[in-house]
Amino acid sequence: MMMKSNVPFPNHPRRLHPFMPTILLGLCLAWPLCASDRYLEPGHPDGVALLAPPPEAGSAEEAADLQMTRELVKARTSAETAIAVEDMKLNVFNFAQAIGPIFQPGKFPKTEALLAKVRKETSGVVNAAKEHWKRPRPSSMDPSLAFGKSEASFSYPSGHSSIGTVQALVLAELFPEKREAILAQGRRIGWNRVLTGYHFLTDVRAGRVLGQAIVREMTANPAFQHDLAEAKAEIAGAQTSQ
């Protein structure tokens, strides 16, 4: 026996808002773009799988690492200190030293957007590796190495070395005629972190390896390829107008 429902049924289907089909279509079209606009897939590259662990705490290797930092900090000149302080900012426009005065803020908006996104995604990869190993910084082992403002993040791998490497490799693609000078400045960013006692040399070397792996992953990504091509066109246009 069929039970009679007390729920009233309308005599006609409920009408959609006249703009609803357009809104739904827009969301459907936008979703794949939003889902794939990252330059790096989650977990790629995996710094923990890629890098060897840092020297074991209390080992002779760690002691040698610390002693090298002490010696480099002690030998640092005032000129090296001034350069290191500027490099700490990770301001991508500091690469104007290698590229030339054409590379100025506000002149290349697409290039700036590309590099900002690159840095943000690079930081996520580096921080995941730092949180895994939780290596203390040199100044936590030897307070005499403290320089400027202390940093709460862990030491291995060096974030400045990773980001400096990534920035340099991307800029070398954009300004190939300045490639060697750009890459040298990228290496300097990491090296100066040892001179100022923020990092061990092993941290900096690991950062360079991770930075190279990050750029390899990015260059295979269609969203990155698209944005890089637009940045290259933007720079070519500016160079032609000059």
Q: DSSP of 104-116, one letter per residue?
A: -TTT-HHHHHHHH
CA–CA–CA angle 79, 84, 87 (5° rounding) = 135
Number of residues in the chain: 242
- Which parts of 84-163 are beta strand (E)? none
Task: Return the active site residues.
Answer: 160, 193, 199, 203
Cα 237 from Cα 233, distance rounded (Å):
6
Per-residue CA distances from 127 to 84, 95, 204, 214 (Å): 22, 24, 14, 13
Tell me which residue of 159, 157, 127, 155 sits closest to 142, measured CA to CA: 155
Q: How many Cα atoms sit within 13 Å of 68 on the Cβ side?
A: 15
Largest CA distance in the chain: 96
Of the candidates 221, 235, 230, 226, the residue with the CA atom closest to the CA atom of residue 121? 221
